[in-house]
Every structure is written in C-alpha cells, then in structure tokens.
C-alpha cells in the first residue's frame, strides 16, 4: 500500500533542560513516570509523597530519540511527523532545526518534515516548557484572576495564583476535590512518521438516516490530494462492496450513498444487541491501493427529546434510541490516572466491563479530564454503553483572547472528527457546572463568582463564555457531525433557564446530600428530568488502603488519610452521616467497611427514587465510577479496580425490572420499575419475617402486565396491618418477583436505621469448590447476616456478588475469578458482616 507509518517508540531519553544527565525515557509517557523509572522521585501516590514532587512542573524538560531513514523512504512525496498528543507546551526540533510548536494537550499535531530529513541517522528532540511558568505568564497578561476553585495552587507552592484555566490541559492535573496536584508534562500519546505519495484519505464522516426497516448511509470522505490523477473510491460493509465510484482529479471531498435494508441495529446493552458493522473505505489509483480507512460503525438513531409538559412549566429530557425512549442508568467517568500513558488496555476493559456488569447503559466523560483514548469508545461501542461527552471545561471560567479561542476551536475539531462516528456517542456537552456556577442574570444564584468582579469584568468574562459555549462549540458540532446533539452546559434547564434544585427542564446536579448536609431522604425530594450528577463518598477497602499507607496512618484524621481526601469536609462528613445511620465502629478497618455500606445504601436509594419517577425522570448518573489515584471519594470502584459496595448495589438496582419497597408513617408499598415491557403474567410475593427466619406475614398476587419506562404500584397495606405490633427493629420485608418461574428481582426492606436493628449473632457455614482457577463459595446461615463482605487478598479478582444480606436457611453462591488467570485460594479469603462491627447484638 502507498501509505506507510512508522511508530517512534524506541530509544527515547530525557533530561531537565538545565542539567547534563540524560536518562532513559518511555514514550508515550510523562516526566513524572520517567523520573520514577530512573529512581529520581518516589511514587507520588504513596503517603505524602505528592508534596515532595511539586518542583517537577516548574522545570523545562527535553526528550530526544534517533531513527534511521533510507533512500527509498526519502523518495516519498510526503513525510509527516505526527503526534497524537503532547502535554502541553512543546517545541519540536528535527536535526537541530525547529519544525513547529504545540500548545494544547488535547490536539493532534502534524509537521511536514521531508525537507528536514537526511539519509541515515536523524535526531528528533522535543523541548517541553513548564505549564506552570507558561500559565503564570498568561495570568499576568490577562490582568486579573479567573475562578478555578479546584486548582490547588497552595499545594503547588503558588499561593493564590491559579493558572490551570490558561492552559489547554487536563484540569484535574492541577488538583480536584478527589485528586492530587500533579501537573504533568510529556509526550503522552503515540509519535509516528507518516509517508505517502500523491493521495491519502484524510477522514471519513458517516451520515445515516436509520430506522427498523432500512438505513440510508452517506459517507463523506475527505481526501488529501496533491496530484491530478484519476482515483477510485470503494466502500465496503462487512466485506461486501456497497459503493464504488471514480473520483475526478483535484476533488477534495467525495460522497458515497448506499442503503441497507433490514439493518442490524445498534442498541444499548439493556435493550438489545449493540451490533457493529465493519466499514472499509479504500482509495485506488488504477489497481494500486493507496490508502484504506477502517472502523466499526453502528446503525442507529439517537435523539434527545425535549417535549413541553402539558402545564407548560417544563420539558422532558430523555434519550431515544431507534425511536424507543431509554431510561439512562450509569455514572460519571474521570481519567483512570494522573499519569495517563500508564493506563493499560486491561484497565479500560475492566472499567467498561464493570459498567456493563453493573447493568449500566451510559457513562458521562466529564469535562475536567481528557477526551478519552480510542479504546474507551471502541469498548463502549462493543458493549452498548452510551457516552455523554463533555468538552474539556469544568468548574472554572476561561479567557477569551483570539489565540485561546482559535486553539479551542481546533481542539474541538480534532476531537469531534476523531469521535463522531462512534455508535456510542449520544451527546456533546459544552462544560461542567460553569453556567450553574456563574448563574447569568440571577444575582442571588450561583457560587458567588460574579460578585468578585467589576461590571466591566463580568461582561468580559461572560462574553468570553458565550463565544466558546454558545458559538464555537455548537458550530463545530453542527459543521463536523451528523446532526449530533449539543448541550451547552451540565446542568442547565435550557432555553435560558439556569439549573437549580427545583427546575423542571434539562439535566440536574443534586448535591444537597453531601455538600448541603441534606438527609438521604431528600434524594426522593429533589428529582429533575435527568439526574446527571449526585453522590456520596466512601473510602477504599482496607486491602487498598494498605497499599499507600503504613499502620501509623490507620486513622481517618491522620495526615496521610486526610491528604488522600481532597474534599476538605470529607472524612468528618462521612462520620457525621454514619452517626445518623450506623453504629460508628472504633476499629479503622471496620470504619472503612461501614463507610462503604453507607455510600452504597445512599446511592441505591437515590437510583430507586429516580426510577420511581419514570417517565418524569429518565436518567440517573451518579458521581462517580472510578478514581485517578488511591483516595476517599465518591467512586464506586477504587483506583486499584476493586468494586466498592456501591458497585454491587448498583448492579442490583439497575436491573431492567426492579422492585421498589418503601414505607412511611402509615403505609407499606411495593412498586415495580421497569425499562422493558413484560407482557406475560408475573408472580409477586411479599413476606414479613424476623431475623431468625420466622414468617409473620405472607401475601401473593399475579401482575398481569409490566409496562416499559414506567413505575407501577402493585401492593400497598397499612403499617398497622403489616406489623401488627411486632418489633420493627427485628423484622424485614422480603419481596420477590418471578416471571415463568424465573426470579426477576428480590428486595429486602427494613423499617429502622441500621444502628437500630436488633441483629442476632449468626452461625455462618462456608463450602468451597474449585472450578479450574476459579473458586465457588457457598455461604449459609442460621440467622440473618447483614452485608456479608468477602475480602479476597489477591489483586485483579471479580466476584459475582458481595456486601449482600443473607437470610436464615438461605444459601448464596459467589463465584470468584481472576482477571489475570491466577488461581483463587480460599486461604486468601476473609469474611466480615455488619454484626461484627456493632457493640450490641441479640443473643
């Protein structure tokens, strides 16, 4: 084939610009990881080491490598040096001649280098200037500071000088309320040499008009032509030619149309198969293949429906896939590390598989991180996971000078073109929480930002905001996608309505629970049309905490545990909520365990409340799925990939059809929330039992039909009738729903807080069965066991269930397997349940 690519990944060295010593480097990589590789700094994630490496981002660094070019390679008409990503300010030299400069971490960079190359040995050098020093220059030039509340400038030894907003770089590198301050530099994505003669394919836009019966597809192929040769373009789908045509000389853009009858549609994971077609676009000169573009595409139609309510006081906000409304279940997603090149493909597989296993159908790529690597979107395509894609702006206000705006536009073009054809892309969102924080036109709303500025400064700041989020970004989405949906900010009410807890349109972030110290019951009170953020914190499990601490740190108020908690109120806020719900353990390990239960129960209740309000509310994305370092945070999976209790609880509550059992002062009710229709008869059973297994109340009925995207009450009774003066501290309601004898869902409902439960001392029995490298654990008990936790002292393991309640005389099977094909040993298992953390138990 005419086009050739050489990856430059070998023989890299680096050094501090002011020092003489060259050291081994990895590309892709970062300065911090290369310093660790050479033993120059310790792991910044361990204990308080983050504080000792703040000097790194103030220095300039240089990377170099050499490569050989032979005479035949030099004969190519075009030779380009391509960077998938440079972090961030880079000056590029080839054979000691400057070929260009970079100033945006999120962009791809191409440099024509044919005239700089020589036959034989060539030297490539990249000088990386300090993002801090460049940021300080930009701050001085701007003349006044801009809001950047998560920029931890004090830790960065800059005092109150917050510079993150002036550099097009991942915001979370400067610190966040779940992350450290580690401002990286590096060649963070691949470097390649690209060579071709005359012509190549630049990019392909897939346009489609798809329904159940047929898909009308148009391919818009952009060509990079430099000669007047007649060409031929061939389009194939799953290996079959669907269109081919001659391309006139000098034509830069070619459209190809074809129809697929009865297409295999791409669906979200919970509604069908996410089928992907293999697309190939081949460029020929006669019989000579010049270039080929390959990708997998899904044939689907995605819309966001905003239909006015009958009373005219609000609008719906829901995703419609292939004409079918979809209740969105999922989480917000942040980068998996501060040092991005070391995030492995296996980590991405684990994250997206965990999303699928938790019965989710959407992830929101949040705007303070990165436009994710291709593998992230490939896996979401494969697994049927929708992507809410933020542009990379969050919780700050940004400058609006001409150079900054042009840089932002090119960043948007690069990433929209890279990601637009992915079946999973459902929405493009301008920013995270910036409209909400500024609250234009609402003097008493917002986060107090605008009140810090003069009238003229306010006008300038908001004017710059509008240029980016009301003009540049929507125009890029309009011009470079197939009519994909743009949403200006999250949250927003849309149509000029600023988001708050009471709004009836758009999406909503609810932080009354946690930041506002609202009780958990308020999750049921404040519900919008689409809940795109809410959350509650927990610690990692003890196995994970031991990896970044030593025994003297085992106290939530220790310096190390406080440092690995970036929400200033965090650790004591967890304890405060725990005092309301649980007996607070004195033991550190038990405290971590109960903290995970606290988080899981709160978010479980929130998701239930959102599903209960279908179809008024049609989305529930909690904050957050993952972590970027070992930390106490709102995540449901810790930095090491361990599922917290919340991830297991999410798996239960996100089932397509789920029971919701609640009580108030007078009544007990059972509702069924379902994303899908169940037209055959289902069987509902409601039992009241005590903690020894005695049955106190029994009710059964048939449910004739379960409707999709709906929640229906199927049983109600008065508390007086259900309880009949029984001790509500020692009983629970067990509700089951079956269809054709197959269990759909089970719910355990208690009448008092966990700290008030009169829990018995159980006798647990365990059996173990080896299944290859996997281990099947069967657990049974004579009395109720609350929240049994199986801790596996091996890394990279999966469990089918955990943190579960076990009823008297019930058996529960849990399969434990290794993601790296290690043998699971029963000797590595430890078991913990809530009774073991409580001071008083019923004998």
> Which residues, 6 or more positions from 312, have their beta carbon under 8 angstroms from its beta carbon?
none
Distance CA 252, CA 741 (A): 61
- pLDDT tens-digit readout, 676-697: 999 899 999 999 999 999 999 8
- pLDDT tens-digit readout, 117-143: 999 999 999 999 999 999 999 999 999
Show the tokens assigned to 464. Answer: 């710059």
Decide if 385 contacts 423 (C-beta within 8 A).
no
Distance CA 698, CA 689 (A): 9
pLDDT higher than 60, residue 492: yes
**Mean pLDDT rounded to a whole number for the chain:** 96
Distance from first CA to last CA of the chain, Å, rounded?
A: 78
pLDDT higher than 70, residue 227: no
Distance CA 470, CA 314 (A): 22
Which band of pLDDT confidence, cut at 50, 70 and 90, is reported for residue 500? low
Helix (H, G, I), strand (E, B) or coil at 350: helix
Show the tokens assigned to 829. Answer: 């298992």
| Surface-to-core class of residue 192, CB atoms within 10 Å of its CB (0-12 exposed, 13-18 middle, 19+ buried) | middle
pTM of the model: 0.97
- Across 201-235, b (16+ Cβ under 10 Å) vs e yields beebbbbbebeeeebebebebebebeeeeebbbbb
Bond before 428 cis per omega within 30 degrees: no
% of the chain residues with pLDDT over 90: 92
Closest CA to 292 of 374, 220, 204: 204
Show the tokens assigned to 724. Answer: 């009949």
Decide if 590 contacts 77 (C-beta within 8 A).
no
Q: What is the pLDDT of residue 675?
A: 97
Q: What is the pLDDT of residue 825?
A: 96
Distance CA 190, CA 609 (A): 45
Decide if 405 contacts 470 (C-beta within 8 A).
no
% of the chain residues with pLDDT over 70: 98
Closest CA to 84 of 374, 333, 425, 479: 374
Strand order in the sheet with 508-509: 486-487, 425-429, 386-390, 362-365, 328-333, 619-622, 531-533, 508-509
| Mean pLDDT across 150-156 | 97
Q: What is the pLDDT of residue 317?
A: 97
Decide if 418 contacts 293 (C-beta within 8 A).
no
Which band of pLDDT confidence, cut at 50, 70 and 90, is reported for residue 843? low
Q: What is the pLDDT of residue 356?
A: 98
| Mean pLDDT across 30-34 | 98
Q: Could you please report the per-residue DSSP string of 562-599?
A: HHT--STTHHHHHHHHHHHHSPPPSSHHHHHHHHHHHH
Distance CA 205, CA 197 (A): 23
Show the tokens assigned to 661. Answer: 């059992």
pLDDT higher than 70, residue 656: yes
Show the tokens assigned to 468. Answer: 């980016």
> Which residues, 6 or more positions from 502, have their beta carbon under 8 angstroms from its beta carbon?
526
Looking at the DSSP assignment, which residues form a beta bridge with residue 364?
332, 388
- pLDDT tens-digit readout, 782-827: 999 999 999 999 999 999 999 999 999 999 999 999 999 999 999 9
Closest CA to 104 of 188, 38, 172: 188
Lowest mean pLDDT among 170-179, 245-254, 431-440, 686-695: 245-254
Distance CA 167, CA 129 (A): 12
pLDDT higher than 90, residue 233: yes
Helix (H, G, I), strand (E, B) or coil at 436: helix
Closest CA to 462 of 424, 426, 483, 435: 435
pLDDT higher than 80, residue 265: yes
Q: What is the pLDDT of residue 519?
A: 95
Decide if 469 contacts 488 (C-beta within 8 A).
yes
Q: What is the pLDDT of residue 507?
A: 96
Q: Count Cβ atoms below 10 Å from residue 258 Cβ, excluding itself.
A: 14
Q: Enumerate domains of the chain plus CATH numbers.
A: 4-193 (2.60.120.260), 198-297 (2.60.40.10), 328-642 (3.20.20.80), 657-756 (2.60.40.10), 764-837 (2.60.40.10)
Bond before 299 cis per omega within 30 degrees: no
Helix (H, G, I), strand (E, B) or coil at 275: coil
Please give the C-alpha separations between residue 170 and each of 85, 166, 340, 393, in angstroms, as whole numbers.
12, 11, 10, 9
* Sign of CA pseudo-dihedral 687, 764, 826, 649: positive
Interaxial angle between packed helices 645-653 and 588-612, expressed in degrees from 0 to 180 and rounded to the nearest 10:
20
Interaxial angle between packed helices 374-383 and 345-357, expressed in degrees from 0 to 180 and rounded to the nearest 10:
30
Q: What is the pLDDT of residue 229?
A: 76
- pLDDT tens-digit readout, 374-428: 999 999 999 999 999 999 999 999 999 999 999 999 999 999 999 999 999 999 9
Looking at the DSSP assignment, which residues form a beta bridge with residue 777?
768, 814
Closest CA to 600 of 555, 532, 535, 515: 535
Find the Cα–Cα–Cα–Cα dihedral 670, 673, 676, 681, rounded to 10°.
0
Show the tokens assigned to 701. Answer: 């009925």
Distance CA 79, CA 714 (A): 69
Decide if 626 contacts 635 (C-beta within 8 A).
yes
Helix H or strand E encompassing 427? strand 425-429
């Amino acid at each position: 084939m005419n086009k050739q690519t050489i990856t430059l990944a070998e023989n890299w060295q680096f050094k501090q610009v002011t020092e003489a010593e060259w050291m081994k480097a990895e590309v892709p990589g970062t300065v911090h990881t290369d310093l660790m590789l050479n033993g120059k700094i310790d792991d910044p994630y361990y204990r308080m080491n983050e504080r000792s490496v703040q000097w790194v981002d103030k220095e300039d660094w240089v990377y170099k490598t050499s490569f050989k070019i032979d005479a035949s390679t030099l004969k190519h008409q075009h030779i380009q040096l391509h960077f998938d990503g440079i972090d961030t300010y880079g000056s590029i030299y080839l054979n000691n001649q400057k070929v260009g400069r970079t100033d945006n971490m999120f962009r791809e960079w191409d440099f024509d280098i044919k005239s700089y190359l020589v036959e034989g040995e060539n030297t490539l050098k990249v000088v990386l200037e300090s993002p801090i020093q460049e940021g300080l220059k930009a701050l001085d030039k701007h003349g006044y500071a801009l809001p950047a509340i998560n920029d931890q400038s004090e830790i960065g030894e800059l005092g109150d000088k917050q510079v993150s907003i002036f550099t097009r770089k991942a915001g979370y590198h400067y610190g966040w309320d779940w992350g450290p301050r580690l401002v990286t530099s590096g060649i963070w994505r691949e470097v390649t040499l690209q060579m071709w003669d005359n012509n190549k394919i630049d990019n392909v836009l897939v346009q489609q008009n798809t329904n159940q019966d047929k898909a009308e597809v148009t391919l818009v192929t952009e060509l990079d032509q430099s000669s007047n040769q007649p060409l031929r373009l061939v389009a194939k789908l799953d290996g079959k030619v669907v269109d081919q045509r001659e391309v006139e000389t000098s034509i830069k853009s070619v459209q190809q149309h074809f129809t697929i009858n009865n297409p295999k549609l791409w669906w979200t994971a919970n509604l069908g198969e996410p089928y992907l077609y293999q697309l190939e676009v081949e460029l020929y000169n006669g019989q000579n293949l010049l270039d080929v573009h390959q990708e997998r595409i899904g044939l689907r139609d995605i819309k966001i429906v905003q239909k006015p309510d009958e009373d005219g006081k609000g609008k719906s906000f829901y995703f419609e896939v292939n004409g079918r409304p979809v209740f969105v279940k999922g989480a917000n997603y942040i980068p998996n590390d501060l040092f991005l090149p070391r995030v492995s493909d296996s980590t991405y597989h684990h994250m997206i598989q965990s999303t699928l296993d938790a019965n989710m159908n959407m992830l929101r790529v949040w705007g303070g991180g990165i436009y994710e690597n291709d593998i992230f979107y490939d896996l979401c395509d494969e697994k049927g996971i929708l992507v809410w894609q933020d542009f990379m702006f969050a919780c700050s206000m940004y400058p609006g000078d001409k150079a900054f705006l042009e840089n932002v536009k090119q960043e948007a073009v690069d990433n929209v073109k890279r990601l637009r054809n992915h079946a999973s892309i459902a929405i493009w969102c301008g920013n995270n929480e910036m409209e909400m924080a500024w609250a234009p036109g609402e003097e008493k709303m917002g986060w107090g930002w605008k009140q810090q500025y003069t009238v003229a400064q306010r006008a300038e700041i908001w004017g710059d905001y509008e240029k980016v989020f009301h003009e540049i970004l929507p125009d890029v989405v309009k011009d470079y996608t197939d009519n994909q949906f743009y949403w200006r900010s999250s949250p927003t009410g849309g149509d000029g309505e600023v988001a708050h807890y009471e709004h009836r349109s758009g999406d909503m972030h609810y932080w009354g629970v946690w930041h506002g110290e609202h009780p958990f019951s308020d999750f049921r009170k404040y519900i919008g049309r689409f809940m795109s953020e809410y959350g509650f914190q927990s610690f990692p499990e003890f196995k994970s905490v031991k990896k970044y601490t030593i025994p003297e740190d085992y106290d939530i108020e220790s310096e190390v545990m406080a440092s690995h908690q970036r929400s200033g109120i965090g650790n004591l806020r967890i304890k405060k909520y725990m005092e309301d719900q649980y007996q607070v353990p004195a033991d550190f390990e038990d405290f971590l365990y109960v903290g995970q239960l606290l988080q899981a129960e709160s978010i479980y209740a929130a998701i239930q409340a959102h599903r209960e309000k279908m179809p008024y509310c049609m989305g529930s994305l909690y904050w957050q799925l993952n972590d970027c370092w070992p930390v106490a945070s709102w995540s449901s999976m810790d930095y090491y990939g361990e599922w917290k209790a919340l991830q297991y609880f999410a798996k239960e509550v996100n089932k397509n059809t789920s029971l919701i059992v609640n009580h108030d002062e007078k009544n007990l009710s059972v509702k069924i929330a379902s994303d899908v229709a169940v037209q055959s008869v289902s069987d509902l059973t409601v039992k009241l039992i005590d903690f020894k297994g005695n049955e106190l109340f029994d009710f059964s009925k048939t449910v004739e039909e379960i409707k999709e995207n709906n929640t229906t009450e199927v049983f109600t009774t008065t508390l007086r009738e259900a309880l009949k003066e029984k001790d509500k501290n020692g009983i629970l309601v067990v509700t089951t729903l079956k269809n054709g004898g197959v269990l759909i869902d089970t719910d355990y409902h208690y009448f008092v807080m966990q700290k008030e439960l009169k829990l018995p001392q159980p006798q647990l029995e365990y059996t173990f069965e080896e299944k290859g490298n996997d281990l099947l654990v069967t657990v049974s008990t004579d009395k109720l066991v609350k929240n049994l936790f199986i801790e596996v002292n091996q890394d990279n393991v999966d469990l089918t269930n955990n943190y579960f309640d076990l009823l008297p005389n019930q058996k529960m099977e849990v399969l434990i397997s290794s993601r790296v094909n290690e043998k699971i040993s029963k000797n590595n298992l430890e078991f913990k349940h809530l009774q073991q953390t409580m001071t008083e138990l019923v004998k």
